[in-house]
Amino acid sequence: MSYLPVACFLIIEVWLLKSESRILLLVGIVLNIYIYSIFCIGIHRLNLIGKGANQTLGNIRLKFRECKYIGYLFIIGLFTSLAKMAVFIPYIGQLLAIVLVIYVFSRLVLVLPAVAIDRSLSIKEAFHITKDHRLEIFILLGVIPTLIILPLYLLDYSLMSQIISSIYTTIIMIFNIGLISQTFELLVGVEEDEDNISVKL
């Protein structure tokens, strides 16, 4: 059961590739965000709490933790969307927008592992915690994941290429979640009694 969200994620990815209905496409996107959130929460909890948290990976019920995680995803998405506005600056806009999006994401993303292990951490607090590690965070959580995903642009638009892309994206996602988890543990820390939280599924 622990691989259920992964399987669902890949199935929905393929479904989105083949769907021609706008309604089904919208439903697929919503399901994808939901499954993605469950998957990320499970990996974060596994990294930060340990094996006692792995049951979350097989649990696809909607709970407050998942809703809060999705909410923070949208908030981070809003801030990165504002950063994208730099694209309208002449000459340097496109490059500046990419840099700003990576910068904003890397400064705010620590709220996600906090939600996953039921810790209280606001957007403002995440921004404050990372202020003395701006360059390291920018490279570790922004530049490296961006470079890793570049090979996807070498693929064509065939179905097989898109399936390979979905699998590769999932592998990269696991790697990136691990980076975020470890960064959270280094900068914020995980309390010794966090094992008690692991039973809250």
For all residues of the chain together, what is the average pLDDT?
Answer: 79
Instruction: Output the pTM of the full model.
Output: 0.77
Length of the chain: 201
Decide if pLDDT at 187 tops 80: yes
pLDDT for position 1:
41
Write the pLDDT tens digit of every residue in 126-164. Answer: 999 998 999 999 999 888 888 888 887 777 777 677 778
- CA gap 182, 199 in Å, rounded: 21
Choose between 51 and 88: higher pLDDT.
Answer: 88
pLDDT for position 193:
46
pLDDT for position 60:
56
Decide if pLDDT at 9 tops 90: no
One-letter identity of residue 20: E
pLDDT category at 195 given cuts 50, 70, 90 is very low
Give domain limits for the chain: 4-189
Decide if pLDDT at 5 tops 60: no
Helix (H) or strand (E) holding 133: none
Decide if pLDDT at 53 tops 60: no
pLDDT for position 166:
76
Task: State the Cα angle at 173 between 170 and 179, rounded to 5°.
Answer: 155
Decide if pLDDT at 45 tops 80: yes
The answer to whether 19 and 159 are in contact (CB under 8 A) is no
For residue 108, count other CB atoms closer than 10 A to its CB: 19
pLDDT for position 19:
57
For residue 100, count other CB atoms closer than 10 A to its CB: 18
Choose between 57 and 129: higher pLDDT.
Answer: 129
pLDDT for position 107:
93
